[in-house]
Structure 1
Amino acid sequence: MAQIKTYRRDEEGILHYREAWTDKSSFRTHFGEVGTKGTAKAQTVRGTALYRQDKPTATQYMRMFKEEAHADGYAEITDEDHGWAVLQVWTHTPDFSHPDDARLLPEGEEALNDFVGWYGIGHCDGYDVGGTPPAIHKLDGTVVNYFCKVVDTEISVKVLRIFTRKFGITQKFVIGTREPGENTDYVLAWSPRKRDKGFNLFGA
């Protein structure tokens, strides 16, 4: 599958995405404001069961998409210019025996990757498990960090909070972000407790 993601800021500073990918039978596009679901379209490509001589091939569709996107001011964002957002969930149990904990992995990672993709913000780049929730919360569980590579950290916080509601996360959670750059650190971007200031990947 071939895929390309491009972005553009308009005169008001709003970031837009325009992406395209191919599958076995179609060429698909998805576009909108970053942080929204946007609009998706699909077109049949030449060489499928729905073959039509006048249809472009997937390669031709992709070339036309790139040319049009670049002409409209859209461009790809390099890996170095991506930031990071971490959804940190504190589980109910250390061994994931609670039903809500059990669905966090791998279902949660897959759902999050799909969710942030459709909102145009980036993708989930994996997760880790380990650590201790802050003692003040008196939780016996462990820490799950979902790492998301994102094009805008501020918008990503809003998207991750929407995800927790849509996915039905019952556990306590916080969100940390890290701006692009080699020497940047994670900072606390959202917590249910306003007094919280720091962010630690290991929880405690």
Structure 2
Amino acid sequence: MKSLTGNKRDHWLKEKVIEYLNEELGWRGIGNVDGFDMGEQTAFKGKYALNIFCVVYDEEKGIASIKRCLKEYRLDYTRIKIASRSNSSDSNFQLKYSAKKKDQTFSI
């Protein structure tokens, strides 16, 4: 995203990603979308992101399904990052995949 509130395309992308991920994860019986946020990244002031949160029951299958879904529907697959954390409320997200191999930064 290029701004705090996002543009029309950002909002369209959010809706499509949520729709397709819910279908993909639900059809495979491994999870669902649990929400999203849009806005300024906490660790990178002046940089903005769309985060989609999914609950999955198998991390490896979930990551593979998310990558496959975004690639199949051409939903900005070249810019994605996938992170995960355990169910523990005090655990931090850990980056598991970045489309840009040289960019290993991650922030909510």
Interval of TM-score (by shorter of Structure 1 and Structure 2): 0.7 to 0.9
Q: How does 1:117-156 map to 2 (within 5 A)?
A: 117-132=26-41, 142-156=48-62
Of 65, 68, 77, the match for 1:159: 65
Q: How does 1:9-20 map to 2 (within 5 A)?
A: none
User: SS of the residue aligned with 1:149?
Assistant: strand
- Greater CA drift, 189-198 or 170-179: 189-198
Segments of 4+ moved more than 6 angstroms: none
Number of equivalenced pairs: 103
Q: How does 1:33-182 map to 2 (within 5 A)?
A: 91=1, 93-94=2-3, 95-98=6-9, 101-132=10-41, 142-170=48-76, 172-182=79-89
Unaligned runs of at least 5 residues, structure 2: none
Q: In the alignment, which residue of structure 2 is the partner of 1:41?
A: none
Q: Which has the higher helix share?
A: 2
Query: Measured at CA, do residues 185 and 107 of structure 1 come closer, stay the same or move farther in structure 2, by a change above 3 Å?
Result: same
User: Partner letter of residue 156 of structure 1?
Assistant: G
Q: In the alignment, which residue of structure 1 is the partner of 2:101?
A: 194
CA drift at 1:198 = 4.2
| Identity within the alignment, % | 26
Larger radius of gyration: 1
- Asked whether the 8 Å contact 1:153–1:178 carries over to 2, the reply is no
Query: TM-score if structure 2 supplies the norm length?
Result: 0.76
Deviations 1:41-97 (A, max 9, x none): xxxxxxxxxxxxxxxxxxxxxxxxxxxxxxxxxxxxxxxxxxxxxxxxxx3x43323
User: Partner letter of residue 125 of structure 1?
Assistant: D
Query: TM-score if structure 1 supplies the norm length?
Result: 0.44
Looking at structure 1, the residues matched to 11 and 47 of structure 2 have their Cα atoms a distance apart, in angstroms, of 12
User: Partner letter of residue 87 of structure 2?
Assistant: P
- Asked whether the 8 Å contact 1:187–1:198 carries over to 2, the reply is no
- Asked whether the 8 Å contact 2:63–2:82 carries over to 1, the reply is yes
Q: Which has the higher strand share?
A: 1
Looking at structure 1, the residues matched to 105 and 31 of structure 2 have their Cα atoms a distance apart, in angstroms, of 24
